[in-house]
Amino acid sequence: MLSEVRTKVESKRPLLRYLVDRREGLKNTSPKELLFSDFSCLHSPFSLPDIEDAVSLLLSFAKSNKKILLYGDRDSDGVSSTCLLAFFLKSHPEFLTANLEVMVSSESDPYGLCKEAVSKIQKAKPDLLVTLDFGSSQADEIDSLTALGIQVIVLDHHEVPVRIPKNCALVNPRRTDSEYPEKKICTAALSFKLVSAILFRTSKEWNQLYTKTVTNEDGTKEVLYFRNGIKLSKDQLDLIQNPRENPSKMENQIPIGDKNSESAPIDLSSALPFPEEFSTNIPLDDERKLFFYQCQKIPEFFEQLEEETDLAGIGTITDMMPLVGENRHFVKLALTSLTKLYVGDKKRKGLKELLKELKLNPLGITTKDLGWSIGPVINAAGRMGKTEEAVNLLLSENELEAKTRAKLLLSINEERKERTKRNMDRVERYFARKPERTTHDAIYCYEPDMEPGVSGIVATRMVDTYKKPAIFIAPDNGDARGSVRSYGQENVLTLLESLSEHFLHFGGHPEAGGFSISIDQIPKLEAALYEKAKLWLAEDEERPKEHLINTDFTVLPEEMGEKLLKEWKDLEPFGQGNPDIKLGIRNAKAIHLTPLSGGKHVRFHIIGSGSLKYMIWNKGEEFQSFMSNHGSFDLVGSLEENFYQGRSTLQFIVEWFGKAES
């Protein structure tokens, strides 16, 4: 239904005020921080757990020329995080002679450190293993590797169980002991954080103390100390003055000759004064301000980091991270970096050729490009069992090779689209034969002729169609693999946990999970699913009982002008956790109606809103039938920038049309 109160768009920045006042994830955000992004907005990486140990291990193993293996997951976040770190390590002076190998899981492998992955790692014989986008929940497997003398770093953002593996640097913001201000950042962003930590660690600013005196509310003076962008607690101050009393848990794994000066006591009197006069474009807390000030003092620090933002932004969008806080800045910085890459001569030849093959707008890469063009192509390789092709492209340093690999990756994506289409046709027939299957609390679909590799996409489309959580399963290499997607705020990992006795492996996020299962367990899973889903959803009081469409603003057709369009553009990026602004229009009258694809889609204009085009996908015939019986209609949708054949235009994508309740 449309919102009942119409808000006229006439004040200076009504959309900005709305976002700040109404959206939970943005309430404490400065309006300036919504509109602008630069490196000052990012937090110091040194509040991430085990980040210092991870940096020390990488530096020491590279210096001693021991073998470092990067092992990433097959999805877009796993590939992006792996290639981001690999590209940096290959180009940074500290790692030019490092013995580096890159591997990724394939679609035939179960999730994470399965026995197949452990076997591959053992054959590779690394001295240092870095897992990317998995490993947090696999303490037993990590312990088995460390028992063989393999040191392990885990970069991951999935849920962390109670037991954390020993002798392992687990860099995960979801750890209960993590002091990092953001909990929901993807692994590609963690790779970026590790890279920035390495750059800072190898500079003169490393471990430099700064001090600031503040006046408390009771009038007393307090002296604060900062190091590496972090305000130090009393315990931390004690530790840096007596470091040997509490050594790092990695102390025995880092060669003696490579242990750094942090082991020596630090004299507090050597602290530098906090740069009070230093100003930034955006109001910042003391920690971010100081860290940015220090980073500015490091030669070419931001120049080196700028090119690393691209894959961090791609991972953030494709892994559906909430676009609030730091994630917004990662994406905005990535859009700037990718646009410069497209028209300039940057080091990522593979990614540049992919942008060209996708025929994106060279004047400005958009959030839509990340989520609907770049990300799906990278994801497609893993879905089709060819993850290494995405890695080979992103690590390409030769333009001709990169062009060939980009074309190959696009052809793989076309195969993925065809497989998805065939599976969706089978899903429709599956539910058409027995419509009662759609009446359960969770929608379930499995048939032996389903094709593997696209279960997540199909499950998402089932959610969109039936407005319920959905599970889709397809046979895969003798067993089967399934995906589950949430509809509302429910946590799908809770459902998977309740059904875990049927799975070989399972994991994922609260919104999206996956599992592998033996074929003979599938009927038992379905039998148990419906009762478990009923109990699961009964505990979720926030689950919507009916599908409502609420608008952010209801406007008049004549208010859809340049002023509103510019405000919308300035407030990007929109996405998970910060959805696009949803606009409602009442009593609209369509003109210049043009059926597309034989009437499947339709394009039209609205009287009073100028040249803005309105698009309805997949419901063209339904709309034309409605129009034949009604002179006017209400609609809900959002704005979208479209680039086609060299032209960029704004259009309005209609989500719903009809007669709204008064």
Q: Which residue ranges make up each domain of the chain? A: 14-27+549-658, 45-201, 209-296, 303-415, 434-538
Decide: 83 and 394 in contact? Cβ < 8 Å: yes
Decide: 598 and 636 in contact? Cβ < 8 Å: no
Helix 455-466, helix 399-433: angle, nearest 10: 50
Quick check: 192 pLDDT over 80? yes
Decide: 321 and 377 in contact? Cβ < 8 Å: no
- Look up residue 370 and give its two tokens: 């990340």
- Rounded Cα distance between 276 and 290, Å, is 9
Q: What is the pLDDT of residue 542?
A: 55
Q: Which CATH number fits domain 45-201: 3.90.1640.30, 3.30.499.10, 2.40.50.140, 1.10.1280.10?
A: 3.90.1640.30
Output b/e per residue, 11-49; b: 16+ Cβ within 10 A: eeebbbebbbeeeebbeeeeeebbeebebbbbbbbbbbb
Return the amino acid letter for 354: L
Residue 588, H or E segment: strand 583-588
The least confident of 10-19, 139-148, 193-202, 399-408 is 10-19
Pairing mode, if any, of strands 99-104 and 67-72? Answer: parallel
449, 462, 531, 540, 643 from 498: Cα distances, Å: 27, 22, 11, 15, 45
- Look up residue 177 and give its two tokens: 């002991």
647 three-class SS: strand
Q: What is the pLDDT of residue 110?
A: 67
pTM: 0.86
Predicted confidence band of residue 7 (pLDDT cuts 50, 70, 90): very low
Residue 321, H or E segment: none
DSSP 6: -
CA torsion sign, 546 to 552 to 555 to 560?
A: negative
- Look up residue 146 and give its two tokens: 């460390």
506 three-class SS: strand
Decide: 443 and 437 in contact? Cβ < 8 Å: yes
Q: Which CATH number fits domain 434-538: 1.10.3720.10, 3.90.1150.10, 3.30.460.10, 3.10.310.30?
A: 3.10.310.30
- Rounded Cα distance between 39 and 25, Å, is 20
56, 58, 254, 261 from 258: Cα distances, Å: 8, 11, 7, 10
Please classify residue 352 by burial: count the beta carbons closer than 10 Å to its beta carbon, then call 0-12 exposed, 13-18 middle and 19+ buried: buried
Quick check: 214 pLDDT over 60? yes
- Look up residue 447 and give its two tokens: 């048939």
pLDDT tens digits along 373-402: 999 999 999 888 899 999 999 999 899 999
Residue 471, H or E segment: strand 470-476
Tell me the average pLDDT across 44-55. Answer: 96
- Residue entry with tokens 């949430």: 486
- Rounded Cα distance between 531 and 217, Å, is 56
- Rounded Cα distance between 212 and 214, Å, is 6
Return the closest-CA partner of residue 457 out of 517, 507, 382.
382
Express as a percent the part of the chain with pLDDT over 90: 59
Find the length of the chain.
Answer: 662
- Rounded Cα distance between 347 and 328, Å, is 24
Quick check: 33 pLDDT over 90? no
Non-local (6+) Cβ contacts of 12 within 8 A are none
DSSP 178-241: ---S-S---HHHHHHHHHHHHHHHTSTTTT-EEEEEEE-TTS-EEEEEEETTEEPPHHHHHHHH
Instruction: Could you please state the CATH topology (level 3) that the domain comprising 14-27+549-658 is classified under.
Output: OB fold (Dihydrolipoamide Acetyltransferase, E2P) (2.40.50)
- Rounded Cα distance between 11 and 309, Å, is 35
Quick check: 546 pLDDT over 60? no
Q: What is the pLDDT of residue 6?
A: 39
Quick check: 187 pLDDT over 50? yes
The least confident of 4-13, 131-140, 653-662 is 4-13
Q: Contacts by 377-381 with C-beta closer than 8 Å and gap 24+?
A: 377/409, 377/410, 377/412, 377/413, 378/76, 378/79, 378/80, 378/314, 378/318, 378/409, 379/75, 379/76, 379/318, 380/409, 380/412, 380/413, 380/415, 380/416, 381/74, 381/79, 381/409, 381/412
Beta bridge partners of 584: 554, 636
Rama region for 325: left / alpha / beta (φ>0; ψ in -120 to 50; rest): left
pLDDT tens digits along 91-119: 898 898 889 999 998 766 767 788 888 99
Return the closest-CA partner of residue 283 out of 36, 548, 554.
36
- Rounded Cα distance between 452 and 574, Å, is 31
85 three-class SS: helix
Same fold, 45-201 and 303-415: yes
DSSP 578: B
Pairing mode, if any, of strands 601-606 and 613-616? Answer: antiparallel
Q: Which CATH number fits domain 303-415: 1.10.3720.10, 3.90.1640.30, 3.30.420.40, 3.30.590.20?
A: 3.90.1640.30
- Rounded Cα distance between 292 and 39, Å, is 7
Quick check: 65 pLDDT over 80? yes
Return the closest-CA partner of residue 146 out of 132, 124, 165.
165
Q: What is the pLDDT of residue 376?
A: 92
Maximum distance among all alpha carbons in the chain? 82
Residue 493 φ then ψ, to 5°: -65, -30
pLDDT tens digits along 575-620: 887 888 888 998 899 999 999 999 989 999 999 888 889 999 988 9
The least confident of 12-16, 222-226, 382-386, 431-435 is 12-16
Decide: 443 and 468 in contact? Cβ < 8 Å: yes
